[in-house]
Structure 1
Amino acid sequence: MSRTTHRVGFALVATAYGATMAAGSVPTPLYVLYQHRNHFGTTMVSVVSAVYVVGVVVGLLLAGARADRVGRRTVLGVALVVQLLACLVFVLWPALSGILLARVLSGLSIGLLSGPATAYLIELHRAARPEAAREHAEIVATAANLGGIAAGPLLSGLLAEWAPAPLRLPFVSIGAVLALAALLVAVVPETARPVVRPWSRPLALAPERRLLFLASCLGGLVAFAMFGLFSALSPSFLAGTLGHTSHALAGLVAFLGLGAGAVAQLGLRRLPPRRAMTTVVVLMPLGLGLVVGGVWATALVPFVLGGVLTGAGAGLLFRACLTTVVQLSPVERRAGTLATLFVTSYAGLAIPVIGLGIASQLAGPRGALAGFAALALVGLAAVATVRLRPDPPPLSSAGAAL
């Protein structure tokens, strides 16, 4: 295959990755409408979010065991079809049972996609530009991940506010994009040669620098907990605590918080490793402080600004963790180690939804949010302690980590 073919394939896979992630986050501003239509409360929203994470974990386990066996393109194609099926269920079966099934399917698609798509982009980039640094592919992968998650709520929020059929049109629109992406991905060259061998372990640890690997997984969990705060709960805080019921505003706030993560990865990609982690340690506490302060003071501006700063810090943290895991992983175990990172990271999406839902019943939404922020900062401190050690032991040929 020519380098041009791989370069075009790289762009197509990145687009498909972002579109699938966007489809997974489209329901964010729509939960208020579903609650009104189907007469369920915030507890059921937590259940819907939990089944989504269950689907993600199942998909990650399946992909971790089989992605190296059947090839990247096959797994990516299956993920696109499953996400398209989830959109179809949302359109045709808007009852609560349909919503639950659609979220399981959507999560399954995301789980199937995340690790193999990242590996696919790295391998396509290496084939297209063997002389270029690998970090470019990793940045594009995380930007497609977070950029897609950010774009979904913005799309559905705008359509829900100003277009007809707010519970159907967003899924029809993103479904059309997914269908086109599935057709285009079919022509992307395969980079992993399918082999006949025993099923690999779905999860794996990097054989070197285990503590750094585990800290990276914890960092991914902390980062995705921040994303979960804005992808699932920002509409509830806006409507229930801050008094803003606009669906467009809910989508915009989620977009700003999540989009800041993608922008930070691109804008701060040249920061040296230690300075990048130091930036995270500054941005996330400051952002969380503004978010909590905005909720306690019933003030929209600090809430939104805090979301942007928190999202930027979380995006930079996740990119650092992803880069570390890739660099510490042998090629033959890359799918399993990436699956381990994504399993722990996506578990973070469920923590704010389920934990805050339970804590809100005991301490109210303001107290629950403050407690969540405190726990997140404890986790960040643990990650920073490992990553900012003054004299880390030298790495092997896998490369410097961050």
Structure 2
Amino acid sequence: MDRSVHKSWIDRSKMATVRFMELIDRTHDRLPAPTPDHGRSAIAFWSVAAVYALAMLGGTLPVPLYAFWAAGLGFGPFTTTLIFAVYAVGVVVSLLLFAGVSDRSGRCPLALAALAVVALSTVTFLMAGHVVVLLAARFLSGLATGVVTATATAWLGELAGPGNARRATITATAVNLGGLGLGPLAAGLLAQFAPAPAHLVFWLYLGALVPAFIAVALAPETVADRQPPRVAVRRPAVPAESGGRREFATAAAGVFAAFAVNALFASLVPSFLHDALRVTGQAVVGGVVSLLFLAALTAQLSAPRRWLESRWFAAGALVAGVGLLVAGLWLRSLAVFVAGTVLAGAGSGLTFRRGLGVTAELADPRRRADLNATYFLAAYAGNVVPALAIGGLDQAFDANIATSILAAALTGVIFVPAVRNRRHPA
């Protein structure tokens, strides 16, 4: 494509996005302002949490369905890993362009815009008759996820009120990981036991988005001094003080490693179960993928405080989990693979919660979504690397050898933040 034409297309896209958010902002301004009582604030807090969970659920709905699309559209493992990577790229692009906009223009307008992109992505999945359409659907899903993670996390912190930062952090991590875990489980069950496996789940999801739009539109706006939206490539925000920057860098490196392990696992499950173990039931595929995120959720909600503050516990769980994942591949053992899944999930959950707590503590209240966006940028950058690496290594090596090479590299990455880590309350 000619460079001038490409630049013109980007400029028109930015202008359309700004106008769309201005329209949503004006619509929200016409709604009656909610009464600032405790009951209304509690309802708004849990409504935003529910919408956050629903948006994250949508990000993992397609995972058990790749076998249907691969058979129907005729693509192989490399294309599957590319689809995983495109989703993560969409998140990264979103975090660089849009995630900090809610600090200027308000939480509600950006959340409504993100839900509109979620709906567009869902409709695109329903029309996925070609690999390019499928890639577009995943990219749109990633764009929406990036906005929701940064905006909703900041919104929950503000709706929780002063003195409730820990409650907001625990809720944000719970709905993030819980939504990610429920997505493949729901899609897998529907794919195996309901008609139209690649369509029904998306129709149901579209229906669930309707009350989500209403909940967000009625939620109180927490950004007092709102300005017109402006879309530009943002420089990742970091804390102002040098000590805070070091603490945040450690948290970002940890979540990069944790999400890299998640991506390695999620990209392996469908092919491992189908090719190595001859498991064809989509409910099993969805259940095994869900196990990673549900183990992460359980660990970060129930772990003793000393585990959350420990220098080595989360890193050790991640490394042991990766080791068992690789062993399960070589031994063709579902039991060993599942044990690795539980350990890797637990380490990921502990790392994620602790890092989000550090981010919430260090964030400037006026730029809360901006620092959240940088944290999630590190996380989803970790998602991109394994998906692309596995796809590339598979072209030169046996799948087990390729996975072992990547696992060895990830083990080194996991220990970097553990060595640098200072004790910090979760």
Q: Could you state the TM-score of these two structures normalised by the residue count of structure 2? A: 0.86
Equivalenced residue count is 387
- The answer to whether the 8 A contact 1:206-1:325 is kept is no
Q: Does 1:325 align with 2:325?
A: no
SS in 1 for 2:197: coil
Distance in 2 of aligned mates of 1:197 and 1:332: 16
- Which residue of 1 is the match for residue 348 of structure 2? 314
What are the superposed Cα offsets for residues 17-39 of structure 1, whole Å, 9 maximum, x if unpaired?
Answer: 11111111111011111110001
Distance in 2 of aligned mates of 1:61 and 1:239: 36
* Partner AA of 1:297 in structure 2: L
- Which residue of 2 is the match for residue 296 of structure 1? 330
Aligned pair partner of 2:214 in 168, 183, 200: 183
- Which residue of 1 is the match for residue 184 of structure 2? 153
SS in 2 for 1:362: coil
Paired residues for 1:358-373 under 5 Å: 358-373=392-407
Q: Percent identity?
A: 37
Q: CA deviation at 1:66?
A: 1.0
* Partner AA of 1:89 in structure 2: T
- The answer to whether the 8 A contact 2:41-2:159 is kept is yes
Q: CA deviation at 1:401?
A: 5.6
Q: Does 1:48 align with 2:79?
A: no
* Partner AA of 2:274 in structure 1: A
- Which residue of 1 is the match for residue 285 of structure 2? 250
- The answer to whether the 8 A contact 1:75-1:116 is kept is yes
Q: Could you state the TM-score of these two structures normalised by the residue count of structure 1? A: 0.91
Aligned pair partner of 2:226 in 195, 198, 206: 195
Q: CA deviation at 1:295?
A: 0.8
- Which residue of 1 is the match for residue 48 of structure 2? 13
- Which residue of 1 is the match for residue 12 of structure 2? none
Q: Does 1:270 align with 2:305?
A: yes
Distance in 1 of aligned mates of 2:306 and 2:222: 30
User: Which range moves more in the overlay, 321-330 or 12-21?
Assistant: 321-330
Distance in 2 of aligned mates of 1:10 and 1:196: 24
- The answer to whether the 8 A contact 1:77-1:186 is kept is yes
- Which residue of 1 is the match for residue 238 of structure 2? 205
CA RMSD, 1 decimal: 1.9
* Partner AA of 1:274 in structure 2: E
Q: Does 1:345 align with 2:379?
A: yes
Q: CA deviation at 1:87?
A: 0.7
Distance in 1 of aligned mates of 2:388 and 2:101: 30
- Which residue of 2 is the match for residue 282 of structure 1? 316
- The answer to whether the 8 A contact 1:10-1:125 is kept is yes
- The answer to whether the 8 A contact 2:105-2:228 is kept is no
Distance in 2 of aligned mates of 1:44 and 1:69: 38
Aligned pair partner of 1:135 in 166, 178, 184: 166
Structure 1 unmatched runs, 5+: 390-399
Distance in 2 of aligned mates of 1:304 and 1:278: 22
Distance in 1 of aligned mates of 2:194 and 2:262: 27
* Partner AA of 2:364 in structure 1: P
Paired residues for 1:64-143 under 5 Å: 64-126=99-161, 130-131=162-163, 133-143=164-174
SS in 1 for 2:46: helix
Distance in 2 of aligned mates of 1:119 and 1:70: 13
SS in 1 for 2:249: helix
User: Which range moves more in the overlay, 200-209 or 71-80?
Assistant: 200-209
* Partner AA of 1:304 in structure 2: V
- The answer to whether the 8 A contact 1:356-1:368 is kept is yes
Aligned pair partner of 1:219 in 235, 241, 254: 254
Distance in 1 of aligned mates of 2:190 and 2:107: 33
SS in 1 for 2:396: helix
